[in-house]
Amino acid sequence: MNALLALLLLLISGGIVFLSPSKAPAALVVAAAFASIAIICINRIESDRKFLLQLFLEGVLIRLIVGTIIFVFNFQNFFGGDADTYDQNGFFMQQGWHGNKYYAALPERFIQSGAGAWGMLYLVAGIYEVVGRNPLAVQFVNSVLGAATAVVIFLCAFHIFGNNRVARLAALLTAFFPSLVLWSSQELKDGPIVFALALSILATLKLGEQFTVKYFLVLTASLVTLLSLRFYIFYMMVAAVVGAFVIGMRKVTTQSFVRQFLVIVGMGLAMTWLGVIRSANSQFAQYGNLEAVQRSRLDAARSAKSGFAPDVDVSTTEGALTAIPIGLVYLLFAPFPWQVTTLRQTITLPEMIVWWAAFPMLIVGLWFAVRHKLRQISPILIFTVMLSLAYSVFQGNVGTAYRQRAQLVVFYFIFVAVGVILLKEKREEKARRNREEALEALQRRRRWRVSRNQPPVTLIKDEGEEVKV
């Protein structure tokens, strides 16, 4: 398998260079550098290292292919118009670092308008500083982060449930689910956001078990990354982390209380030192009211044919609460078959059928986890519930809801995997019992024949196995 992966890597890399000879070599070098860091980290994982390494490399390869197709055939506007925005403003920022004051002012204005994610601009500008203006390099870095997210989800699932099959299935879904591949193959902030979310949850789970400086720094860095990419997700993740430590992810003891207290205080000090509390005041003043949410939602609902429920008013508490049911349905299940009117919506239909079929497994797995692992899943549960409700209120566009579902679905997949494995283990247990009952019946039959001095009867089972009864 390793030889096959190496051969595929060489062939795909050669094909990418052939399709984009001016940009691909530098982009592949940058991707290789980031992938090498990921491989070093994977090789330090104790459980299922070989599977994770293969999964990561396969996830990278499929994202490199998708990213190259989007870049070569100029599908950026078709799949995600934000890519051009980040490319342009990242280039302006990089030029500003070299003394161009006019270019330096443009990304500053973009960030201050509240429309952009300054962290993404710094990522783009940093890569352009090394290899020149090369959007394909940014796409390949995001591809590595997208593939690495599957590894992090594996670790989260295994930490909570201790079941290798659950962790593997959750990781496979994360690595190859079409929308997750698509959003992490472009010059968009979605890939880094989802990676930072998964890493925040993993660090929280690890710190809930044992306080280590390594995971405290990972958690802090992940939270700052979220703040730089989408500030309101940062606040929800902070609330989830603090809530999880207040509840406690393990049995409460003096040691666990001290550990949780240290993490919460440490986070507060780190966020204060980084200026988060100061910036929070201005952000809440500008966006932290229902009138601002209503304006944003109305723009989304009326800006495209894929808008929904434009007459819903969430500017009041009552209106926001009444918007949650329909918003939640669209967030979880849209686009619906009767809404498929464009090529982009048609492309999503096969994936949506799979997602709709998997949703019952999500309910089964979530119910099991709430009953048996409530403390352990508390950070995931708090965050996903908060973000789902928030998106239900201010999302008014099917396309945007579909895209932002990626921030939730990676955690939903953990519960989907639990549901699938639960049903599979029940079927295996039923089959085992049936075999035992059949064997016991045969043994009783044999004892009955022996008691009557009757010769045994030879039964030919599968694969030529003989059983004398």
**Average pLDDT, consecutive stretches of 10 residues, N- to C-terminus, the chain (469 residues):** 80 94 95 96 91 95 96 87 90 93 87 75 96 96 97 96 95 96 94 96 90 90 90 86 75 64 66 60 59 70 67 76 85 81 79 92 95 90 90 80 89 96 91 84 73 58 51
Specify the amino acid at residue 344: R
> What per-residue confidence (pLDDT) applies to 255?
66
* pTM, rounded to two decimals: 0.89
> What per-residue confidence (pLDDT) applies to 350?
86
467: DSSP letter: E
Strand, coil or helix: 449: helix
> What per-residue confidence (pLDDT) applies to 469?
47
> What per-residue confidence (pLDDT) applies to 129?
96
d(CA 56, CA 8): 14
Whether 428 is covered by a domain: the verdict is yes
> What per-residue confidence (pLDDT) applies to 230?
86
Whether 465 is covered by a domain: the verdict is yes
> What per-residue confidence (pLDDT) applies to 272?
59
Phi, psi angle pair for 23, to nearest 5°: -110, -30
d(CA 390, CA 327): 9
> What per-residue confidence (pLDDT) applies to 275?
59
Peptide bond into 192 cis (omega under 30): no
Whether 38 is covered by a domain: the verdict is no
H helices, E strands: number in the chain: 21, 2
Residue 214 tokens, joined = 């390594």
Residue with tokens 């000090």: 269
Element (H, E) at 459: strand 458-460
Range of the domain at 369: 293-469
d(CA 322, CA 393): 9
Specify the amino acid at residue 334: A
Looking at the structure of the chain, the number of domains it has is 1
d(CA 109, CA 91): 14
Whether 449 is covered by a domain: the verdict is yes
Whether 415 is covered by a domain: the verdict is yes
Neighbouring residues of 132: CB distance < 8 A, sequence distance ≥ 6: 26
Whether 432 is covered by a domain: the verdict is yes
Whether 13 is covered by a domain: the verdict is no
Angle, CA of 116, 178 and 422, to the nearest 5°: 115
Question: Among candidates 241, 264, 251, 259, which has minimal Cα distance to 386?
Answer: 241
Cβ atoms of 346 and 340 within 8 Å: the answer is: yes
Whether 288 is covered by a domain: the verdict is no
